Amino acid sequence: MPSPRPPYRVAIIGTGGIAHAHAEALTELSERARLVAVADVDPTRAAEFADRFSVPQHFDDPQALLESGDLDLVHICTPPQTHAPLASMVMQAGVTALVEKPTALSLREMDQLATVQEQTGSKVLTVFQHRYGAAAVRLRRLARSGALGRPLVATCETLWYRPDAYFEVPWRGRWDVEGGGPTMGHGIHQFDLMLSVLGPWSQITALADRQTRPTDTEDVSIAAVRFDNGALATVVNSLLSPRETSRLRFDFEHATVELEHLYGYREEHWRFTPAPGHEELSDLWTNGDEPDITSGHRLQIEAVFDAWEAGEEPGVCLLDARRTLEFAAATYASAFRGVRIAAGELTDDDPFAESMDGGAVPWEPVKEALV
């Protein structure tokens, strides 16, 4: 299928919280793209959003939005259990879907999306905006070039705080709507960034627990990971941590690269420390002329347009997003089965490929019946 041409015609499905970040990014990119339609099952919300961002058309039905005119890109900003069905609908309309994380609730849904991709020739992309900050792009380039030596050790910590009240929203904290707790919903950004730097993982040993929050899902998980390239990493995903932080650290043979931020980073949040005898590597870490923009939605949306214009495949593609989702599934499978899980082990007939809880959660649910 040929790449779309600018100015791109963009629509948003779901006009709640995060849709505002998408619309603001599109406003900043107005020379390349036009937000031409929005849809939300709550018509008042759709109308107010359209008014706020001067969007010419609004709908209460995503299908009506898709039938309203030629579109190049549809952003899906709805709760997670709707992502796979809506992304399929968008692809069947011949349009690229840019889906908020998590792409889908299960590996099985991811594989169904892959089938729709093949059938329609359209693509589903996942929002993992932290891959697109200038320093992350530079780190991937340096890591792949071999300049930093072999990656040996990494730590990845999403230590966030969500009080009980946060879970009063009915869809929060439920396996059937969110697919999981901090592993699927919060830490996924950090470990996706880690995976984008370190490449394929091979084994995971994990623990997950619900310590105190009124949720069906875990409120903390911890994993020990081995990568194909031999690197070892630890990953912590917590909603129980009053002093919040998001931290990543990579120890390569010739340098340590660290990131500490909360919900988005700039250059000042990174630190580069060369190993003794490798001081010249610091020159490779300088920012040059790149604008220092926070790792938000704008950078990823811009990267989609750049890829189209260069005739390249935009990211984050389904294969990469599946690797990240498989990481989450393996974390749950290892924690709830009490065994180590290898990449590829959760085949289609595995309960943990069907749903992230694998029907094996060791604690009692507390949430009421489905929203």
Ligand X SMILES: NC(=O)c1ccc[n+]([C@@H]2O[C@H](COP(=O)([O-])OP(=O)(O)OC[C@H]3O[C@@H](n4cnc5c(N)ncnc54)[C@H](O)[C@@H]3O)[C@@H](O)[C@H]2O)c1
User: What DSSP string runs through 111-176?
Assistant: HHHHHHHHHH---EEE--GGGGSHHHHHHHHHHHHTTT--EEEEEEEEEEE--GGGGGSTTTT-HH
The length of the chain is 371
- In the set 26, 35, 50, 62, which binds ligand X (CB under 6 A)? 62
Pick from 1, 2, 17, 311: which binds ligand X (CB under 6 A)?
A: 17
Query: Of residues 10, 11, 12, 15, which one binds ligand X by CB under 6 A?
Result: 15
Give the nearest distance from C-beta 11 to ligand X in angstroms: 11
Determine, following the binding rule CB under 6 A, whether residue 109 of this chain makes contact with ligand X: no
Comparison of 45 and 247: residue with beta carbon closer to ligand X: 45
Helical (H) or strand (E) element with 246: strand 240-252
Place of tokens 């629509």: 11
Mind giving me the DSSP string for 173-215? T-HHHHSSSHHHHTTHHHHHHHHHHH--EEEEEEEEE--SSS-
User: Which among 9-17, 276-284, 341-349, 351-359 is the span making contact with ligand X, rule CB under 6 A?
Assistant: 9-17
Residues binding ligand X: number (CB under 6 A): 23
Q: Is 279 in the site for ligand X (CB under 6 A)?
A: no
Nearest distance from C-beta of residue 217 to ligand X, angstroms: 13
DSSP for 80-120 reads GGGHHHHHHHHHHTT-EEEEPSSS-SSHHHHHHHHHHHHHH
Return the SS3 of 338: coil
Q: Which residue's CB comes closest to ligand X?
A: 16
Q: Which stretch binds ligand X (CB under 6 A): 79-87, 234-242, 318-326, 331-339?
A: 79-87
Let me know if 219 is exposed, middle or buried by CB neighbors in 10 A (0-12, 13-18, 19+): buried
78 is a contact residue toward ligand X (CB under 6 A):
yes
Place of tokens 């948003």: 12
Q: In this chain, which of 3, 28, 32, 45 binds ligand X, going by CB under 6 A? A: 45
Q: Which of 42, 164, 228, 280 binds ligand X (CB under 6 A)?
A: 42
In the complex, the smallest distance separating the C-beta of residue 40 from ligand X, rounded to whole angstroms, is 4
Of the candidate residues 80, 181, 182, 274, the single one contacting ligand X (CB under 6 A) = 80
- Strands 240-252, 151-161: parallel, antiparallel or unpaired by DSSP? antiparallel
According to CB under 6 A, which residues from 166 to 195 bind ligand X?
A: 185
Q: Which of 22, 73, 82, 316 binds ligand X (CB under 6 A)?
A: 82
Q: Which of 29, 39, 66, 341 binds ligand X (CB under 6 A)?
A: 39
How far, in Å, CA of 16 to CA of 11, rounded? 14
Any idea what the Cα angle at residue 298 is, between residues 177 and 124, rounded to 5°?
Answer: 50
* Shortest distance, position 289 Cβ to ligand X, whole Å: 27
| Spatial distance between the Cα atoms of 57 and 51, rounded to a whole number of angstroms | 10
Determine, following the binding rule CB under 6 A, whether residue 218 of this chain makes contact with ligand X.
no
Instruction: Give yes or no for residue 127 binding ligand X (CB under 6 A).
Output: yes
CA distances from 268 to 63, 135, 149, 236 (A): 44, 10, 24, 23
User: Please, is 98 exposed, middle or buried when counting C-beta atoms within 10 Å of its C-beta (0-12, 13-18, 19+)?
Assistant: buried
Stretch in the footprint of ligand X (CB under 6 A) among 14-22, 159-167, 271-279, 311-319: 14-22
- Least distance (Å) from ligand X to the CB of residue 301? 12
**18 touches ligand X by CB under 6 A:** yes
Per-residue tokens: 256: 């340590």
* Residue 79 near ligand X by CB under 6 A: yes
Q: Which residues lie near ligand X (CB under 6 A)?
A: 13-19, 39-42, 45, 62, 77-80, 82, 100-101, 127, 129, 185
